[in-house]
Every structure is written in C-alpha cells, then in structure tokens.
Amino acid sequence: MSRVFSGIQPSGELHIGNYLGAVKNWVELQDSHECFICIVDYHAITQAYEVGTLQRRTLEMAMGLLAAGIDPGKCVLFVQSHVVEHTELAWVFTTVTPIGELERMTQFKDKSRRQESVLAGLLNYPVLQAADVLLYKADLVPVGEDQVQHVELMREVARKWNAKYHAGYFPEPQADIGKAKRIQGLDGRGKMSKSLGNTIGILDEPDQIWERIRPAKTDPARVRRTDPGTPEICNMYALHQHFSSPPVVQEVAEKCRTAGWGCIECKRVLADNIAEAFAPMRQRAKELAEAPERVGQILAEGAEKARVVARETMAGVRAHMGLLPVALREPAER
Ligand code: AMP
Ligand code: TRP
C-alpha cells in the first residue's frame, strides 16, 4: 500500500479552492491509503504573518479539516512544528539541493517579489516540503496544480540524497492532482487564496456564501441582463460544475448563452448549492467547537504517531551519512 503525505498552511480558513483542489482528495484517499496530513506552520512563517493569531489559525485549520471529513481514526493529522525531525531533515536536504533549482521555483519568484529582502527561509521552502514528505517515505502527494513543481523538486532531492548516501532509501514521490486543478478566486484575478481575500470558506453560513457570491466577477460581456454570455469563460459556471447536478449545469449554460437568466439568478442557484454541499461540514464544525480540547488531543496523538516514523527515518539518515550516534539514544541502529 502506498503512503500518502500532504500539507496545508494554517491560514485558519479552509476555502473551496484548497478543499476542491486537495482536501476532498485526502478524505477519499484515507480509506485506501496510509495517510499523513500535516498543518505546516513552519512553512507559514516564511512570509510576514500575525504572531498573535497563529495558534488560533492552526487550531481552526485542524477543526476545518476534521469537519471536512479527515478522520483521525484512519489518518495521522498533526502539526509540523510538533515533530522536530521535519526541520532536521530539511537541514540535511539543504546539503544536496542546488540553489539554482530553488531560484527557479515559480512560487519563490512570485513571493520573493513581495519580500523587501529575500530571506533564506523562503528560498528553502521547497526543501522543507521535501523533508515533510520524505520523512515518511511517502510516495503519493495529493495537491493542487500549483504544487507540482515542488513535488518535482522533492523527487530530485530524493534522487540526489540516494545517489550520494544510500541507493533506494527514499522513494521518488508522485504528485496526485485532483479534478479541480485550480479554483479561480471570486474577483476573477487569479487563484482562490485566503491572502487575496477572494474566497468562500467551507464553513461559511449560507448568508455569508451569498454575500461573497453576489458581487463576484462574471463574464464581462454581460453588462445588461439582456446581454448574452459565454459560460466557458465565467467562473460562476466553473463553480456550478463542482456544485450543481449535470442537468442544472446544462441549464446554466443555456440560460447564460441566451440571456434567459441574469447573472444574479445564476448566482442564487450556485450559492444555494454550495451552502447545501457543506451543510454536513458546518454541523460537524459546530460539534467540534463545543469540544475544543478534543482537537488539541487529536493533534497531540497525531504528532505521537508521526514521530515514530520520523525518528526511524532520521536514524537511518544519520547512519548512512556517517554521523556519530548518541550511544544511549539509538544503540541498535548503528
Ligand atoms: P494552501 O491552502 O495554499 O496551503 O494549499 C493547500 C492545498 O490546496 C495545496 O495542495 C494547494 O495546491 C491546494 N490549493 C490551494 N488553493 C487552491 C486553488 N485555488 N485551487 C486548487 N487548489 C488549491
Ligand atoms: N506548500 C504547500 C502549499 O502551500 C503546503 C505543503 C507543505 C505541502 N508541505 C507539504 C503539500 C508537503 C504537500 C506535501 O500548498
């Protein structure tokens, strides 16, 4: 059975972009695979962030994942900084990763433009990501399309380390891109992302969903209600494909092309369907909110399970790299 690893930043809000792009896939995979799902707080600190709210955002992300259907009985859910081996292996990997490869990463190029002086942590972000996955010798990485380049880099890191120290020690992980490669933001200016403020949260109440969708960008050709549109270029139509039944999707396309509906009518149907799709998750979130200590406990148990695997991998890494063992710590492994 192959092992799955994926990560998500503690932005606090699980939105329909990261839900459809990744989390939905995780929930499906946990029935057939051994899954490790990690809230990556050490990644989150590579850009400016609010210190005072990080704890809350981390817990809220855990709650969101549990509400979305991540089941701690089936998969290991934990916080990255609770398992120190992530940063330890990341350091090791910096010694086999060419700087040129890191500078080529699209996400690094985008984000470094926004930093006043470019910090080493941002450049090394994909090295930590490689450590996340390889620490568990995971071979399947379910992510959205924006992470494919990072998965390719981790394959290279695995190859380089294996070539230098021990053939076959790390597997070369494969990205697993779901059906929803890239969900556009409601402002129509790029991918849906918390930092751009163009999201719909999966736990938003129906009226909040409507507030978000009502002003959302549609086909610019539809200025007046009587102007026909092209559904294929409208983000509302793209979202209908994820949340509405095939006959409704067909109706939406037709009513858009013929100006049978105004955008507002199309949006109303969409908002209702999104609200309905996430009703069970809102219910689960309410139950979890009543027992917040349970979430902390789930994360602590997850870290405990993750550590068992992480320690074993690191013991092998140190042994193959010729590092001196602490006699008392790992007597048998050397
Ligand atoms: P993040 O929320 O940026 O930590 O991303 C968590 C996961 O969701 C990653 O696998 C991303 O590729 C995926 N993801 C995030 N935003 C989107 C989006 N707008 N469309 C599709 N996938 C996304
Ligand atoms: N960089 C990923 C993102 O922003 C999050 C992440 C960190 C991740 N470590 C990972 C994803 C390991 C998959 C595997 O979405």
Does the beta carbon of 9 sit less than 6 angstroms from any atom of ligand 2? yes
Which has the higher per-residue pLDDT, 131 or 13?
131
Taking the centre of ligand 1 as the mean of its atom positions, its distance from the CA of residue 196, in whole angstroms, is 13
191 is catalytic: yes
Ligand 2 nearest-atom number relative to CA 126 = 1
Task: Name the residue of 129, 136, 183 whose CB sits within 8 Å of the most ligand 2 atoms, as the mutation to test its pocket.
Answer: 129
160 is catalytic: no
pLDDT at residue 334, rounded to an integer = 44
Q: Are 70 and 30 in contact (CB under 8 A)?
A: yes
Q: Are 47 and 78 in contact (CB under 8 A)?
A: no
Position 331 confidence tier, pLDDT thresholds 50, 70, 90: low
Report pLDDT digits (tens) over 211-243: 999 999 999 999 999 999 999 999 999 999 999
Mean pLDDT of 80-99: 98
pLDDT of 146 above 80: yes
Report pLDDT digits (tens) over 284-313: 999 999 998 999 999 999 999 999 999 999
Mean pLDDT across the chain: 95
DSSP 98: -
Report pLDDT digits (tens) over 250-262: 999 999 999 999 9
pLDDT of 332 above 70: no
Do the strands 140-143 and 174-177 form a parallel or antiparallel pair, or are they unpaired?
parallel
pLDDT at residue 35, rounded to an integer = 98
Task: Name the residue of 19, 29, 43, 125 whose CB sits within 8 Å of the most ligand 2 atoms, as the mutation to test its pocket.
Answer: 43
Q: Which pTM value belongs to this model?
A: 0.94
The share of the chain scoring above pLDDT 90, in percent, equals 91
| Ligand nearest, relative to CA of residue 134 | 2
Sheet of strand 174-177: strand arrangement: 75-79, 34-39, 3-8, 140-143, 174-177
Q: Where are the domains of the chain?
A: 3-183+291-328, 205-277
Does the beta carbon of 41 sit less than 6 angstroms from any atom of ligand 2? no
Which of the following is catalytic: 74, 137, 160, 194? 194
Nearest residue (by CA) to ligand 2, atom 13, is 6
| Ligand nearest, relative to CA of residue 40 | 2
| Ligand nearest, relative to CA of residue 193 | 1
Q: Per CATH, the architecture of 3-183+291-328 is what? A: 3-Layer(aba) Sandwich (3.40)
Report pLDDT digits (tens) over 112-126: 998 889 999 999 999
Q: How far apart are CA 141 and CA 4, in angstroms?
A: 6
194 is catalytic: yes
Mean pLDDT of 157-181: 96
pLDDT at residue 1, rounded to an integer = 67
Ligand 1 nearest-atom number relative to CA 9 = 4
What is the domain class of 205-277 according to CATH? Answer: mainly alpha
Q: How far apart are CA 26 and CA 267, in angstroms?
A: 28
Taking the centre of ligand 1 as the mean of its atom positions, its distance from the CA of residue 327, in whole angstroms, is 43
pLDDT of 330 above 80: no
Q: How far apart are CA 43 and CA 10, in angstroms?
A: 9
Which has the higher per-residue pLDDT, 331 or 165?
165
Both tokens of 100, joined, read 């040129």
